[in-house]
Amino acid sequence: MNRPEPITPQGEPPVSLYARHEPVFNRRIDGKFRRIKWAIMVVCLAIYWFTPWIRWNRGPYAPDQAVLIDLAHRRFYMFGIEIWPQEFYFVAGLLIMAGIGLFLVTSAVGRAWCGYACPQTVWTDLFQHVDRLIDGDRNARFRLYKAPWGPAKIARRVLKWAIYLAISFATGGAWIFYFADAPTLQSQFWHGTAPMVAYGTVFVLTLTTFVLGGFMREQVCIYMCPWPRIQTAMLDEKSLIVTYKDWRGEKRGSLKKAQKNPGEYGDCIDCNQCVAVCPTGIDIREGPQIGCITCGLCIDACDRVMAETGRPRGLIDYATLDDAENEKKGNPPTRHLKLIWRPRTLVYFAVWAGIGFALLFMLGTRTHTGLSVAKDRNPPYILMSDGSVRNGYALRLHNMQNRPRAMELAIEGLPGAVMWTEDMGRAQAARVLTRTVAADATQGVRVYVVAPADSHGQAFAFTLTARGDARESDTAKTQFDAPGDE
């Protein structure tokens, strides 16, 4: 019974879940949203590019780069703000604000992040302009794509990829300047003396920019990025989306057909310009979809066609699903500004602004003096020959200002106790010691506290006060142990 029994062959090949990538050759278009895109691209790239080169004088003891993430020295500088690692919650707070900010923007103006500000969008847009510059507009690029490989095609491709690579290097590579003094690092970079991690970072970021911006493009948005998925969950009937007003556009038909049969066709002349200009290659007339980054280029294209055919603009426009219902009934569209005044947006804004104010408040009231204490636990106390009791403490003094400061370390509580440090001897023991802490640095100090004979174990505290500035102080609570208390 091991003779295989043949089964029916099927006529059709099995259905494949794999779809071959169809390259997008989007047509050049000019219009309101195209110009907004240009402006945002220029502003974003300029901010990204030039920020590391802004100087900011912090005196002789700190770097003069306005924005610097100094991983090597564990400092984060942003203009007048300096963050130490233990204050990283400020950065965490900023990241939380950025996250809620995305929600806020989505609630107020839909997927504006995707359409205008996302680096993937900005670089894809830039690279598509390079395509147009080298290969021509939509049809020329399509012809070249279909053409067999020959010297001319190879030359164009090599030139185009070289420009991709140059842009990738210039933009991806600029990332490293946020992490070290930019002029120094640039000089080191060209002389081959920069750290390996700098070259590695430039290599990786150049490569990812080249691949993501030059080749993967809209596939990142459609297949890789989680944000469109989150967006689909966040959009509601009051969210601004790019809408094809099918109640106005359908039934589609060419101008000729429409002229022949007045009243039968809608405003859409089926010219396909909205599809031709789309950077992600979708047809907006199929309704809201994950591939739509709401960049508005199809609105520009359609508006122009509507103008040319003498019809009112806005067949494709930013509108909400509620608007659609509303306009179908013949009511005028809601004004966009009015959309912002809804509870969801206001709650996001309140949370976002609340975190921002809390951060500003904390930033304004934080001190630049810090003290931490670790008590010796083995042994917990030492009985001295005169009957007094000694405890040891490892203190760390933080001077978080960009100048050396004299600081007073004092014992608070613990009657009769005095202290001395390793480098001074018990003879000079006192209740208040003065230490000079270097600029923007910490100082570790081992302190011996001795309390008179018959002292009991009790809680007390060290205080550290910057001399001449009573606001600048910190207190560290700790414990004093004595015999007979265990």
Partner 1 sequence: MADTTNSPASAGRRFDEATQTETVGHEWDGIEELNTPLPRWWLWTFYACIVFALGYTVVYPAWPGIHSATQGVFGWTSRGQLASELDAQAATRAKAVAGLADLPIEQLPQHPELMRAAVAGGAAAFKVNCVQCHGSGAAGSKGYPNLNDDDWLWGGDLKTIETTLIHGVRQPGDDMTRQSMMPNFGTDGLLDAGQISAVASYVLSLSGKEKPSAMTQAGAKVFAENCAVCHGDTAKGNRELGAPNLTDAIWLDGGAKADLVAQITHPHHGVMPAWGTRLDPVTIKMLAAYVHSLGGGEEFQAPAVATGAAPAEAATQAVE
Contacting positions for partner 1 (CB under 8 A): 1-2, 4-10, 14-15, 376-379, 382-388, 390, 392, 422, 425-427, 448, 453
Instruction: Judge whether 88 and 430 are in contact, CB under 8 Å.
Output: no
As measured in angstroms, the least distance from the Cβ of 420 to partner 1 is: 10
Q: Looking at beta carbons only, is 107 or 391 nearer to partner 1? A: 391
As measured in angstroms, the least distance from the Cβ of 14 to partner 1 is: 4
Residue 447's DSSP bridge partners are: 393, 421
Instruction: Judge whether 24 and 145 are in contact, CB under 8 Å.
Output: no
Placement of tokens 């230490």 in the chain: 435
As measured in angstroms, the least distance from the Cβ of 373 to partner 1 is: 17
CA distance 267 to 254: 9
As measured in angstroms, the least distance from the Cβ of 94 to partner 1 is: 39
Q: Looking at beta carbons only, is 13 or 343 nearer to partner 1? A: 13
| DSSP three-state, residue 114 | helix
As measured in angstroms, the least distance from the Cβ of 387 to partner 1 is: 4
Q: Looking at beta carbons only, is 236 or 422 nearer to partner 1? A: 422
| DSSP three-state, residue 448 | strand
283: buried, middle or exposed (CB in 10 Å: 19+, 13-18, 0-12)?
middle
Q: Looking at beta carbons only, is 2 or 57 nearer to partner 1? A: 2
Going across the sheet that includes 458-466, the strands are: 432-437, 405-412, 458-466, 473-480
> Token pair for residue 142?
């399509």
As measured in angstroms, the least distance from the Cβ of 10 to partner 1 is: 4
Q: Looking at beta carbons only, is 356 or 380 nearer to partner 1? A: 380
Q: Looking at beta carbons only, is 219 or 334 nearer to partner 1? A: 219
Q: Looking at beta carbons only, is 310 or 484 nearer to partner 1? A: 484
CA 389 to the chain's CA centroid: 55
| DSSP three-state, residue 65 | strand
As measured in angstroms, the least distance from the Cβ of 436 to partner 1 is: 17
CA distance 139 to 141: 5
